[in-house]
């Protein structure tokens, strides 16, 4: 995604994050729009209250998502589709974990820092294959968590929906996914 489509990525992420929740089995505690009380506390630079978490709106969380997640994974520097898949992974499991997933998919050292080596390794790579590998790795990571039995079904559905959307986003920018038919004879022609 480009800088101008961060909002589309955020909208997609928020469809998975939902609204207010305070599940005692969720280690994140009080959460609204995917922002935990701990994340909001870090953002505010002081302890947040449950009421502040409950009062969050999409507009109020957008700057937090931009800086803490999108910018942390350098979303503007990533290929379309891969940026959304990595962004959603970062929101769900933290930017460091998401970058490690990307680095493993790329076969580079997995230090959790998206720097010039990782960005350089993206050059010329098959983006759909990277999206697939990133989502597969994400599922492997999530299945190993102790909370998988409780939350795994939803997480698996989320990863598959992210995979499909990311692949769709990658296919959109100006290039057809299949050859176009000839307007007169209907046979496929090169784009």
What domains can be seen in the chain, in order of their start residue? Answer: 3-189 (1.20.141.10)
Average pLDDT across the chain, whole number: 87
Cβ proximity of 37 and 31 under 8 Å: yes
pLDDT tens sequence across 109-166: 999 999 999 999 999 999 999 999 999 999 999 999 998 999 899 999 999 999 999 9
Sign of CA dihedral 74, 75, 81, 85: positive
CB atoms within 10 A of CB 145: 14
pLDDT in tens, 41-71: 999 999 999 999 999 999 999 999 999 999 9
What is residue 116's predicted lDDT score, i.e. its pLDDT?
A: 94
d(CA 114, CA 118): 6
pLDDT at residue 163 in the model? 96
SS3 180: strand
pTM of the model: 0.83
Structure-derived torsion over alpha carbons of residues 128, 70, 49, 56, reported in degrees to the nearest 10: -80
């Amino acid at each position: 995604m480009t800088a101008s489509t961060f909002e589309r990525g955020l909208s997609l992420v928020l469809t998975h994050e939902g609204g207010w929740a305070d599940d005692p089995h969720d280690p994140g505690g009080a959460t609204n729009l995917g922002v935990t009380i701990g994340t909001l506390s870090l953002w505010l630079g002081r302890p947040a209250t449950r009421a502040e978490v409950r009062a969050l709106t999409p507009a109020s969380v957008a700057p937090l998502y931009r800086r803490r997640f999108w910018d942390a994974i350098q979303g503007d520097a990533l290929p379309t589709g891969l940026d959304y898949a990595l962004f959603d992974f970062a929101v769900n499991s933290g930017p460091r974990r998401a970058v490690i997933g990307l680095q493993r998919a790329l076969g580079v050292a997995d230090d959790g820092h998206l720097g010039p080596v990782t960005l350089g390794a993206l050059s010329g790579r098959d983006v759909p294959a990277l999206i697939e590998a990133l989502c597969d790795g994400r599922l492997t990571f999530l299945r190993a968590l102790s909370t998988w039995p409780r939350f795994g079904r939803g997480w698996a559905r989320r990863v598959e929906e992210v995979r499909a959307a990311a692949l769709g986003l990658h296919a959109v920018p100006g290039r057809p996914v299949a050859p176009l038919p000839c307007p007169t004879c209907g046979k496929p022609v090169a784009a």
